[in-house]
Amino acid sequence: MNNQRWLSLSFFIFFFTWGVFTPYWTGWLTIEKGLTVKTASIIMGTGMVARSFSTFLVFPYLTERTSYSRVLKWTTIVSLLLAVLYIPESPFVALFIITVLFSAVYPIILPAVESGASVLMKKERVHYGKSRSFGSIGYTVALLLVGTATAIWNEQAILYMMIAGLAIAVVIYSQPAPAVLQSMPDKKNSRDLKTGLKMLFATKGFPVVMVLAILLQGAHASYYNYGFLFLNDLNVNGFYIGVILNIAILFEILFFAKADRLLAGMRISTMFLIAGIGSTLRWVLVFLFPNAIMFIATQALHAASFGIAHYAFIQYISNKLPNSQIAAAQGFYAAFAMSLSVAILTFPAGFLYEISPGTAFLGMTICSIPAIIIVLATRKRYAY
């Protein structure tokens, strides 16, 4: 299997499981396990806090001591074992513990794959956008299958889809990875990673880019946690919920497939500016027009609010940072942009949702609007 194909398959299978976990897990806890939205939000929010610490501390620690391929293999195996623990009927405390542990281990796979992609981009000249689009396809397949399964059976199918996806991931990540990802870290890289934060924040523009990534990815907290419930509350059939959620991913696929060519030569700051404007427009429209038609229409903006913001960060670290700092940067990004910011915003979003579902989405502009302001205020000074 060549490097491009391996990366595409790795993105596909991880994001297949991510397409089960991210949009459906809160709904599964409330519908199948009988928790309230507020209680499920507490569990998921705490899990995301655990996820932020594990991706920030545990992931770089592991990459100092072993290869990316081993990190992928063993975190996937442990994630599968933890997912199986959800099968028996469990009280709140057990669900809380399982979710926190699962949230601490399973998301480590993401920065491992993304870091591997960054290394392959630098060393093997693979096309990031091309392979990342397969991740979006995997996410799409998961949404369609879960939507179909829940419409035919019930929400318990969400758990079994997750277990099946992780089992397949174990098989895939146990196969030989590209040679550069099987190599063990040397002592020089280990020393660099121990002082990774200091070096990262000494890099011109990195603090600003990191803040923008945190704000723009955190702005998806209501969508990730309550998009499924929002549509369910609008009495949309389970199958069609999967189809609707897939619209965002279809636009994401189109974007990543063309991103390398579409955004060639574009400044990182311009990418973040477009993402901030798209994000703000998306959440304001969902608030102003709380119906399925507008929710469907705004799904196209996912290519901007998520896709362009993510692509901008990946391009920044791939072009501006040496290999020895990539794992630390990915760990920081996964911890704070993809985890902690979403975790923190999940708590107030849950309270806002119980007051008014649309308000939970409007609340996300507390991140997207400042992101626009920061870009406009810093793009000349830091030339990013």
Query: Residue 212 corresponds to which tokens in the numbers above?
Result: 């923008």
Q: Which residue has the higher pLDDT, 272 or 336?
A: 272
Q: How large is the average pLDDT for residues 356-374? A: 95
Instruction: Note the pLDDT tens digit of each residue in 213-258.
Output: 999 999 999 998 889 889 988 988 877 887 898 898 889 888 988 8
- Asked if residue 46 lies in contact with residue 344, where contact means CB atoms within 8 angstroms, the answer is no
Return the closest-CA partner of residue 83 out of 172, 160, 12, 23: 160
CA 197 to CA 287: how far, in whole Å?
Answer: 38
Query: Residue 17 corresponds to which tokens in the numbers above?
Result: 């499981």
Q: How large is the average pLDDT for residues 102-110? A: 93
pLDDT for the residue numbered 196: 64
Listed in sequence order, the residues at least 6 apart from 330 whose beta carbon sits closer than 8 Å to its beta carbon are 59, 111, 114, 115, 118, 317
Instruction: Note the pLDDT tens digit of each residue in 44-99.
Output: 888 888 888 888 888 888 888 888 899 999 999 999 999 999 998 888 899 999 99
- Asked if residue 136 lies in contact with residue 253, where contact means CB atoms within 8 angstroms, the answer is yes
Largest separation between any pair of C-alpha atoms in the chain:
57
Model confidence, pTM: 0.74
Query: Residue 289 corresponds to which tokens in the numbers above?
Result: 């027009």
